[in-house]
Amino acid sequence: MTATKGLEGIVATTSSISSIIDGVLTYRGINIDDLAENATFEEVVYLLWYGKLPNRSELSGLIQELNSNAAVPAEVLNQIKLYPKDVNTMAALRTAVSSLALYDPEAGDMTPESNLRKAIKLQAQLPTIVAAFDRIRKGLEPIAPKADAGSISENFLYMLTGKNPEKIAIEALDKALVLHADHELNASTFAARVTVATLSDIYSGVTSAIGALKGPLHGGANEAVMAMLEEIGTAANVKSYITEKLENKQKIMGFGHRVYKNGDPRAKHLQKMSQELGKLTGNMNWYDMSIQIEELVTGQKGLKPNVDFYSASVYTSLEIPRDLFTPIFAISRTSGWTAHILEQYENNRLIRPRAEYTGPSHQAYVPIEKR
């Protein structure tokens, strides 16, 4: 038995949800470029869950269901009020999502209908939790979700600020959600599938996934990118900062990918959005710095930006706090996680790989008084 470090190249399951073939990403066979240009996030959620694009009435039915499930139990909001104000946002989200299960009477119901209902609840409630936590930590009252929101993006931005968001902000966030919705067997989706393959419940699966997404090698990279941009400060400092990092063999966050070696197809959409929003807000600093960083990292290391790189400047232009970037990733990826969980339940087998043992062999047991 020989281990493959990081399971690189190992095909661990079959799935009909999303594919990455020859560097092309599809959701249910539809190219991500087409979806990014044309689809709303709710269309994508429907596509991931039901395997087809919705017609108008199916889409408005889903939006209605998301709106009517968006309120979070008062007990969970009260618990969030007890969290330390400076706690990590992903840790807060992980804890709150786990506690949703405590107040859902059908949490342990394993029927497919119940699991689909819970997928809808999770997709609807995550944005409410993230917005509520942000307000509570600032000493503000959480804002209840709109009952007639046109989209998750609209409702989320409304719950964050209490103001009706501008159309351009809703559209930009919506596109970011489309681009982050699913990504084959990424680390957090795999974590979700491993958890539910024991026939544990969907809340446990999504809680595991949030824990996995939190790390800086996965979803946490978007926050780390913004921290780097802020540290560099201006375009004039980019060259020396990046060159020094690369010389010291340090990683530049937002670059490289386990699967894409010739570039992440999602990055160009976020780059375009970053540029447009920069022009609109009159602050091109983050975009200009990002372009310079890309030139240097690609030129010197051959590494291309991944989905996290330009999403940092996009969210900053939307005035979203840096430590909400990864929770927003989680809001979007909940669609993919739950689609994969439902698929896992449909054709389940316990996921239990082996380890190549590298410890000592044939050790004698030494009684405690002789150690």
- Which residues have a catalytic role annotated? 257, 308
Q: Which of 242, 308, 328, 342 binds ligand ACO (CB under 6 A)?
A: 308
In terms of phi and psi (left: phi > 0; alpha: psi -120 to 50; beta: otherwise), the region of 176 is: alpha
8 Å CB contact between 18 and 184:
yes
* Two structure tokens written together for 288: 């200009």
DSSP 8-state assignment for residue 83? S
The answer to the question of residue 301 lying near ligand ACO (CB under 6 A) is: yes
159 vs 178, which CB is nearer to ligand ACO?
A: 178
Hey, is 77 helix, strand or coil? helix
Residue written as tokens 């939307």? 318
Closest by CA to 349, choosing from 209, 204, 193, is 193
SS3 assignment, position 312: helix
Spatial contact of 18 and 25, defined as CB atoms under 8 Å apart: yes
DSSP state of 370: G
Toward ligand ACO, which CB reaches closer, 76 or 330? 330
* Smallest distance from ligand ACO to CB 259, Å: 8
Indicate whether 306 belongs to the interface with ligand ACO (CB under 6 A).
yes
Measured between alpha carbons, how far is 242 from 224 in angstroms, rounded to an integer?
14
Q: Does 327 bind ligand ACO (CB under 6 A)?
A: no
Closest C-alpha to 252, from 294, 311, 315: 294
Which C-beta is closer to ligand ACO: that of 62 or that of 212?
A: 212
Binding mask 216-235 for ligand ACO (x = CB under 6 A): -xxx-x--------------
Quote the least distance from Cβ 219 to ligand ACO, whole Å: 6
- 41 vs 158, which CB is nearer to ligand ACO? 41
| Tokens 């095909």 belong to residue | 11
Site residues (CB under 6 A) for ligand ACO, limited to 243-262: 251-258
Task: Count residues binding ligand ACO (CB under 6 A).
Answer: 18
CB of 329: closest distance to ligand ACO in angstroms? 7
Closest to ligand ACO by CB, 15 vs 283, is 15
Query: Per-residue x/- marks for ligand ACO, 148-187, CB under 6 A?
Result: ----------------------------------------
- The minimum distance between CB 216 and ligand ACO, in angstroms, equals 6
Give me the least distance between CB of 63 and ligand ACO, in Å please: 27
Q: How far is the CB of 248 from ligand ACO (least distance, A)?
A: 10
d(CA 240, CA 244): 6
Nearer to ligand ACO, 46 or 260 (CB): 260
Q: What share of the chain is helix, strand, coil (3-state, %, to 5)?
A: 60, 5, 35
Question: Which positions from 198 through 217 interact with ligand ACO, judged by CB under 6 A?
Answer: 217
As a whole number of angstroms, the distance between CA 219 and CA 329 comes to 7
Q: Residue 119 in contact with residue 337, Cβ under 8 Å?
A: no
The residues binding ligand ACO (CB under 6 A) are: 6, 217-219, 221, 251-258, 301, 303, 306-308
